[in-house]
């Protein structure tokens, strides 16, 4: 166990976050996401919801300040609707961890899947909320 590292961060996830460079993206997916179909680097975080992962990751992760929106979520499919509490929980988790929330955008399902295929890794969580997926784009870590 390391001091200052949230217990939701597994050794594999910590290593993955450290390996990522500026501009790399990581997907925090809900339990329904077809991660293994889309990506070869899949990290399991079963039983841990995405808000908890965001709380754990955000203090360790610099969000990309050189893009309009370093957070990307999936839009609802036509005829479906979003549960606004998902977005509220995720943004509150980030804000509680680092004091502010970077901008985010929504993209359609297939654009999200295409982006997930190019991500550095996909973390499959225990999140059960519909459209409970989010992509985080890593930025440059500032020097103290």
Whether residue 113 is annotated as binding a ligand: the answer is no
With left for phi above 0 and alpha for psi between -120 and 50, is residue 43 left, alpha or beta?
Answer: beta
Residue 36 designated active-site: no
Whether residue 109 is annotated as binding a ligand: the answer is yes
Task: Confirm if 52 and 93 have CB atoms less than 8 A apart.
Answer: yes
Whether residue 133 is annotated as binding a ligand: the answer is yes
Select which of 6, 22, 36, 39 is catalytic.
Answer: 22
Dist CA 114 CA 83 (whole Å): 23
Q: Which residues are annotated as a binding site?
A: 30, 109, 131-133
- Which residues are the active-site residues? 22
Q: Annotated binding site for substrate, which residues?
A: 30, 109, 131-133
């Amino acid at each position: 166990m390391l001091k200052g590292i949230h217990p939701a961060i597994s050794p594999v996830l910590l290593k993955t976050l450290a390996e990522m460079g500026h501009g790399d993206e990581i997907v925090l997916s809900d339990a329904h996401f077809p991660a293994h179909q889309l990506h070869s680097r899949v990290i399991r975080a079963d039983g841990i919801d995405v808000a908890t992962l965001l709380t754990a990751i955000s203090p360790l992760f610099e969000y990309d300040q050189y893009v309009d929106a370093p957070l990307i979520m999936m839009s609802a499919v036509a005829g479906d609707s979003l549960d606004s509490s998902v977005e509220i929980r995720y943004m509150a988790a980030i804000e509680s961890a680092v004091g502010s929330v970077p901008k985010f955008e929504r993209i359609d399902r297939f654009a999200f899947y295409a982006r997930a295929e190019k991500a550095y890794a996909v973390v499959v969580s225990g999140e059960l909320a519909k459209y409970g997926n989010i992509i985080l784009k890593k930025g440059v870590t500032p020097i103290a």
